[in-house]
Amino acid sequence: MILLNPGPVNVSERVRQALTRPDICHRESEFTDLLQGIREKLIRAFAPNYSSEYVALVLTGSGTAAVEAAIASCVAPGRRLMVIKNGVYSQRISQMAAAHKIQAAELAGEWDQRFSVEPVTVALRQNAAIQAIAVVQHETSTGMVNPVKDIGAVAKKVGRYLLVDGVSSLAGEEIDFNAYNIGLIAGSSGKCIQGFPGVGFVIVRRDLMEQMVNYERRSVYLHLPTYYKEQEEGSIPFTPAVQLYYAFDEALDELLEEGVANRIARYRKAARTIRNYMRAMRMKFYLREPLWSSTLTAFRLPEGVYYDHLHDLLRERGYVIYAGQAQLEESLFRVANMGALTDAQIEGFLKAFEAVLPEVQKLGAERAGEMERLQHDRTEREEREKAEAAVAEAEAASALQAPTGTEASAKPELKTQA
């Protein structure tokens, strides 16, 4: 199956074969070597110029677990977290903050517009309690890349830093940890790194990590200082998914061999191919071009086309796409191009899309006709029931007003004059 959804992604045979390596105990030196190798490769891949300034912490869990660990661990008592909200995953950050009783200052933006950094400047000046700014770099609910660099520059002027959800952007979008003022960034073994889902990680500035050690513990499993202490000593606090770490390690090797910049370029080329083809078919984009990510495009469903028809017919041909989310669930479909995909697979999907579209439109017309018929029947039934109720009401009123039998037989007494 060719996965054109934003994770899980297709992986190479090399990564898949890594799952078959020998079973090992996570308390033995073999796993320590594996873990430390993963941590070192993460820094080499994403912070090569700042290896002494950042530390990578690895945990078993999805990218969501990594994001929540970052949120639960980085805010000092009495401080607040600013959340840039313009999509499903930034909304999730707010939910995480609330779950851990962290006060959040939320700045909402339109889901289809570039986020303006001016409100960030104002909010930071007005609220000294804000410690960090949480932002999603690639908001996969729409395919938007947020202006992380600009937000980071604003934060740096007033001594704050960014907490970035990089789950769908690391190895897919350009990012410079120092230039973007990154304090923490959360990622996943899947997505653009092209491993299997199930291993999360957070890359943290060392000076901030040393501060977090003194913060209150809001979680047992998702407390980053616990991972920091253990992993700096060559251990891990909880039982890891060992085989997934093997595959993650192999995926990182593939990434380093290809080069992060080259992988981003490969993704951009695939996205361009998809967009050009779809544009020629007169598909409408949800976002304007300057906002597009390198790895996902959101398209508006054509008039009369239903997502389930489109999804199911494409799946029959071996291709999986993704629906819209939240309020966009019934109006969008999304096509991701992350993962170990070839040019031939991308071309195959596009030809399949063009081939199924007439059938999808036919099914949509049939459904619309059936819905219209059902609505007509419903309207007729409601009108009939209304009319019957009116008749019944009139009959009841008439019965109340009609004279009784005694009253009808009674005759008025006539008086005669003598």
Tell me what pLDDT residue 182 has: 98
Backbone angles phi, psi at 112, to 5 degrees: -115, 15
Question: What is the residue type of 71?
Answer: I
Tell me what pLDDT residue 418 has: 40
In DSSP notation, 256-302 reads HHH-HHHHHHHHHHHHHHHHHHHHHTTPEESS-GGGB-SSEEEEEPP
Tell me what pLDDT residue 214 has: 95
Tell me what pLDDT residue 402 has: 67
Tell me what pLDDT residue 392 has: 84
Task: Give, for all 418 residues of the chain, the pLDDT tens digit.
Answer: 999 999 999 999 999 999 999 999 999 999 999 999 999 999 999 999 999 999 999 999 999 999 999 999 999 999 999 999 999 999 999 999 999 999 999 999 999 999 999 999 999 999 999 999 999 999 999 999 999 999 999 999 999 999 999 999 999 999 999 999 999 999 999 999 999 999 999 999 999 999 999 999 999 999 999 999 999 999 999 999 999 999 999 999 999 999 999 999 999 999 999 999 999 999 999 999 999 999 999 999 999 999 999 999 999 999 999 999 999 999 999 999 999 999 999 999 999 999 999 999 999 999 888 777 777 778 778 888 888 888 888 888 888 876 655 555 554 554 444 4
Tell me what pLDDT residue 78 has: 93
In DSSP notation, 98-150 reads HHTT--EEEEE--TTSPPPSHHHHHHHHH-TTEEEEEEESEETTTTEEP-HHH
Give the β-pairing of 80-85 and 104-108: parallel
Rg for the chain (alpha carbons), in Å?
30
Tell me what pLDDT residue 368 has: 83
Q: Is residue 226 within 8 Å of residue 219, measured between CB atoms? A: no
- The enclosing H or E element of 320 equals strand 319-320
